[in-house]
Amino acid sequence: MKWVFILGLILATPALAAMLRAQPRMLLPACFLLGLSIFLLGPKLWAAPVSWPYWPGAVRGIYVSFIDAIAVALIAATRPARTPLTVKLAFLVYCLGLLVSTAVAQVGLMPIAFYAWQLFRTMLLFIAICRVSATVQKAPIALIGGLSLGIIIEAGVVAFQFSKGIPRPGGTFNNANYMGLSLDYVVFPAIALMLGTRRLIWPGLTGLAAIVIAVCGGSRATIALVAIGIPLTVILSLLHRRSGRKFAFAGLTTLLLLVAAPLFLWAASQRSREVLESSDQMRSAMTLSAKMIIADFPLGIGANQYVPFANTRGYNERAGVPWNEENRVVPVHNTYYLVAAEMGLLGLVGLISLLASFILVGVRLLGRQWDDEVNELIPGLLAAMIITSIHISVEFVAMDFILHSLFAISAGILAGLSAQLRRAPVPSGTRSMGPRALVSPA
């Protein structure tokens, strides 16, 4: 069956690309479907020509999915867009870290190939989002709209699971930490859009969905960062452009957070003190294990290799990581340490540079305005990048393809909006730039 699915993707992708080229108005529905697919279809509608289902790494095969097909079709149907040089250099450093760590890898190359393929798919998605965001005026809003609908549906699933007594429900992802990290990429842009435009219903529902997911999931990091990220989005939005509507919604948002504060505190206290202390001790032991690996192998052990390496080489044992399935089948709960261990210090520099480069793009865009509601996404996208950079310091799930895809979408929109500004003419006697000749499908 998987070969039938793969053949279907191979045949459908050029047909979809041809349709999008012939009918540009279909680009917006394609963007919306892509955003929605990240949650509803991304985790399920895929096939793997090569699969290692029991491999304890983040990537367990050579996957192809419905998301890849849409990404390739969007690339074929849109014109090129220039990516900021800082982003290119940062990504090059990250890839160089991957190559160097592969050259000195202590174990097999196939798991590394799995991650390299995932990174390639992520790059394709980023290029697709950048191009369509630079070409089609409302594409970023369609993408965030699709993602928001996915989050709203996930909130319903999480609430249902919680009502059935499932501890720390994670929606269709079955992992509260995974779901919590995904919120960063969706909720803040949606709230920024609500603050700066007349769109109210679905962005507002997205914010409420985030609170439901955070409270039911009970992740301390998710609760804290949602509570921090929403005010940060409001502040950045006011810095971007002030208006009476924004000040009014800023007040309502503050009131909502105050009302939700008892719920946040209740959710954070649902796990007993003993459980929290055990979790903190486990995380500390895993961090110690990662530090020992980094000290011994500063060039890295190879991507997608951490768990078997830490177990078979005795690092987890010496660090005091308890020998049970919950602890020994997952890597260190810190993406920065995980990347440094697997892809060396060079890979870590690449990751930090990549995050910093997109934050810099967002900061640069924050001071620019044009007469279109799309620019109101910028504060939310910038907040998403800042909060994500903090959040991954306590999570490893960022190495999964769906989280890679969410990062690629947010980053691609920022890069696409930056390309819009470079393409736009500068009106005589004005200080601001804005897109004047973008495709706007009817």
* AA letter at 88: K
Query: In the predicted model, what is the mean pLDDT of residues 254-277?
Result: 71
Task: Read off the DSSP letter of residue 439.
Answer: B
The HSE-up count of residue 381 (CA atoms within 13 Å, CB side) is 32
**pLDDT interval class at 370 (50, 70, 90):** low
DSSP assignment of 125-162 equals HHHHHHHHHHHBTTHHHHHHHHHHHHHHHHHHHHHHHH
Cα separation, 94 vs 353, in Å, equals 9
Most confident segment among 155-169, 343-357, 367-381: 343-357
Q: Encoding tokens for residue 131?
A: 């191009």
Res 46: pLDDT: 83
The answer as to whether 67 is a domain residue is: yes
The secondary structure of residue 394, as a DSSP letter, is S
Per the document, the length of the chain is: 442
Do 177 and 219 meet the contact criterion of CB atoms below 8 Å apart?
yes
**What angle do helix axes 377-391 and 335-366 make, rounded to 10 degrees?**
160
Across the chain, mean pLDDT equals 87
pLDDT higher for 309 or 274? 309
Which pair of structure tokens corresponds to residue 388? Answer: 């994500």
pLDDT at 437 over 90: no
194 lies in some domain: yes
Q: Does 412 reside within a domain?
A: yes
Instruction: Give the model confidence (pLDDT) of 82-139 as tens digits.
Output: 999 999 999 999 999 999 999 998 777 899 999 999 999 999 999 999 999 999 989 9
Mean pLDDT of 54-69: 90
Can you read off the two tokens belonging to residue 2? 């998987």
Cα angle 70, 358, 409 (rounded to 5 degrees) comes to 15
Long-range contacts of 170-176 (CB under 8 A, 24+ apart): 170/217, 171/213, 172/39, 172/40, 172/43, 173/43, 173/402, 175/397, 176/217, 176/218, 176/219, 176/222
C-alpha to C-alpha distance for 250 and 229, rounded to whole angstroms: 13
Q: What are the start-end ranges of the E strands in 83-135?
A: none
Distance separating alpha carbons of residues 364 and 418, to the nearest angstrom:
9
Token digits of residue 33: 């479907």
Angle, to 10 degrees, between the axis of helix 27-40 and the axis of helix 401-423? 150
Task: pLDDT band for 255, please (50, 70, 90 cuts).
Answer: confident
Going by pLDDT thresholds of 50, 70 and 90, the confidence category of residue 166 is confident
Q: How confident is the model at residue 220 (pLDDT cuts 50, 70, 90)?
A: confident
- pTM of the model as a whole: 0.90
Residue 432 near residue 369 (C-beta atoms within 8 A): yes
Among 251-255, 265-269, 364-368, name the one with the lowest average pLDDT: 265-269
Contact 268, 218 (CB under 8 A): yes
The whole-number pLDDT of residue 3 equals: 85
> Distance between CA 65 and CA 9 in Å, rounded?
8
Q: Report the chain's terminal Cα–Cα distance, integer Å.
A: 39
Q: Is residue 69 scored above 50 in pLDDT?
A: yes
- Closest to 399 (Cα-Cα) out of 335, 326, 328: 335
**For residue 275, what pLDDT band results from cuts at 50, 70 and 90?**
low
Contact 167, 225 (CB under 8 A): no
Tell which residue, 249, 254, 248, has the closest CA to residue 231.
Answer: 254
Q: How far apart are CA 440 and CA 442, in angstroms?
A: 6
Tokens of 340: 């440094």
pLDDT level of residue 433 (50, 70, 90 thresholds): very low
Within a domain: 363? yes
- What pLDDT shows up at residue 268? 66
H/E segment holding residue 8: helix 2-22
399 within domain boundaries: yes
Quick one: average pLDDT of 296-307?
A: 94
Within-domain flag for 284: no
Does residue 118 lie within any of the structural domains?
yes
Please give the pLDDT value at position 342.
95
Residue 424's pLDDT band (cuts 50, 70, 90)? low
Report d(CA 161, CA 154) in Å as an integer: 10
- Cα gap 122→33, rounded to integer Å: 17
Number of structural domains (the chain) is: 1
Task: State the Cα–Cα distance between residues 333 and 284, nearest whole angstrom.
Answer: 9
Is the residue at 299 inside a domain?
no
What is the predicted pLDDT for the residue at 277?
Answer: 67
* pLDDT for residue 276: 64
Exposure b/e, 399-435, CB count within 10 A at least 16 = b: bbbbbbbbbbbbbbbbbbbbbbbebbeeeeeeeebbb
Percent of the chain with pLDDT over 90: 57
The parent domain of residue 10 ranges over 2-272+332-423
* Rounded-to-integer distance, Cα 163 and Cα 235, Å: 35
Report which listed range, 40-44, 212-216, 438-442, is most confident: 212-216
